[in-house]
């Protein structure tokens, strides 16, 4: 799978079914392994002062399908 294919997939929290957005970045280890997926938050006035979004550890990724990535991050406090 390529990075561009990964960024086209929508990230869904399996805990509550909430759509988190699309992958915009990944965090890599020194040896090239994926450590986390980065999903941006929505645009709002609050996001100007406090960046919103999610950094989802790779071990929270349950499944990568054709169109979506299922993750289990529990219920985020800010939702």
Q: Are residues 76 and 50 in contact, defined by beta-carbon separation less than 8 angstroms? A: no
What contacts 25, CB < 8 A, 6 or more positions away? Answer: 37, 38
pTM of the predicted model, to two decimals?
Answer: 0.78
- Structural domains of the chain sorted by starting position, each given as residue range(s) with its CATH number in brackets: 3-71 (2.30.30.240)
Strands 10-13 and 19-22: antiparallel
- Locate all alpha helices (DSSP H) within 2-70, ordered by sequence: 3-7, 46-49
Q: How far, in Å, CA of 8 to CA of 45, rounded?
A: 26
Quick count: other Cβ atoms within 10 Å of Cβ 71?
A: 24
Q: What is the pLDDT of residue 42?
A: 60
**pLDDT tens per residue across span 39-77:** 997 654 444 454 568 899 999 999 999 999 999 988 755
Instruction: Please give the backbone phi and psi of residue 31, each rounded to the nearest 5 degrees, phi first.
Output: -95, 10
């Amino acid at each position: 799978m390529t990075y561009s294919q990964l960024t086209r997939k929508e990230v869904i929290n399996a805990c509550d079914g909430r759509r988190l957005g699309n992958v915009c970045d990944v965090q890599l280890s020194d040896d090239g392994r994926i450590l986390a997926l980065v999903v941006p938050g929505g645009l709002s006035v609050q996001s100007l002062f406090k960046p919103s979004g999610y950094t989802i550890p790779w071990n929270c990724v349950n499944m990568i399908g054709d169109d979506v990535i299922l993750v289990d991050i529990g219920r985020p406090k800010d939702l």
